[in-house]
Amino acid sequence: MSLSSVITLSGVGLISGKPVSVRLEQGLQGQGVRFVFASTGAILPASADFIVDTQRGVTLMHPETKQLLSIVEHFLAAVSFSGFHDVTATIEGDAPELPLLDGSALPWYQAIVSQWGKPEPSVNKPLYTLNKPVFMQRSTLKTAMYALPSDKFSLTYTLDYAHAGFQRDWATWQGRADRVVSVDQLLSAQTFGLVAELPVLQAKGLALGVTLENTLGLCEDGFGYTRALKFPKEPFFHKMLDLVGDFHLCGLPVECLQMAIVAVNAGHTSHVAFAKQLKQQLEQ
């Protein structure tokens, strides 16, 4: 492994606000994504088997050292889109999470493809198809997710929140074949949250790394944002970005899916639960 092929990104954690640095290296074929804690040398595979929390992000825990690693979804989305699925990420610093960077997956993706290029397409890449619908509903949260048989991939996200930009609205992405919504738009869509919630979260020791530069705020008037959207329905596409990362963690890279997925008021908890259900159905 040459030094020129090592990628280092640094920043602060979304939750803790503490500095953290990540060193990326290409891994052995078939190893998948592995996180290494520099402080102990412990290796934590990027697998849904190690998920311990899905509130406001995905948190993994090493089964022996009990070390936690949160906010892995943006990095995993970048890995999924880059095509480099065998990566070793060494974590250095005090934050029990990956750096938030600019709140999107774009810095991760740009660093990977600018340093490593783009891998050759694999003729052995599995393609997952459905012969019947898969459905999950959580009635108490008005949340549902569907996967429907289709001859091509699509992802539709619908939201109905107490904000004008999210009331009974939806957005669709047709994968790399989409001529309107590019992969770069998904990658650059920034994480978001309610401005009114920030003091409450910070009083609990959460969201200490939030700034105007790394998070899109939904204003208290229920209409505006703390900055202009990069493109229409940007928050919808950040939800899609999260789903891509969560599905990759569950062993379902979206570029291997040939089906129509619909998510209604979903989040990390629903993404992970549905991905597990979908994978079980695909393996039958």
Q: Over the Cα atoms of the chain, what is R_g? A: 18
pLDDT at position 1 is 47
* Domains located in the chain, CATH noted: 3-116 (3.30.230.20), 128-190+230-282 (3.30.1700.10)
pLDDT at position 146 is 96
Please check whether residue 138 is in contact with residue 145, taking contact to mean a CB–CB distance below 8 angstroms: no
Q: Torsion-angle region of residue 237: left (phi > 0), alpha (psi -120 to 50) or beta?
A: alpha
**Which residue's structure tokens are 């990104």?**
9
pTM of the predicted structure, to 2 decimals = 0.93
pLDDT at position 224 is 86
Low-confidence ranges of the chain (pLDDT < 50): 1, 123
Distance separating alpha carbons of residues 245 and 241, to the nearest angstrom? 6
The two three-digit tokens of residue 179, written as one number: 């001529």
Distance separating alpha carbons of residues 235 and 183, to the nearest angstrom? 15
- DSSP letters spanning 40-96: T--EEE--GGGEEE-SSS-EEE-TTT--EEE--HHHHHHHHHHS---EEEEEEES-S
The two three-digit tokens of residue 267, written as one number: 């989040």
Backbone angles phi, psi at 123, to 5 degrees: -70, -15
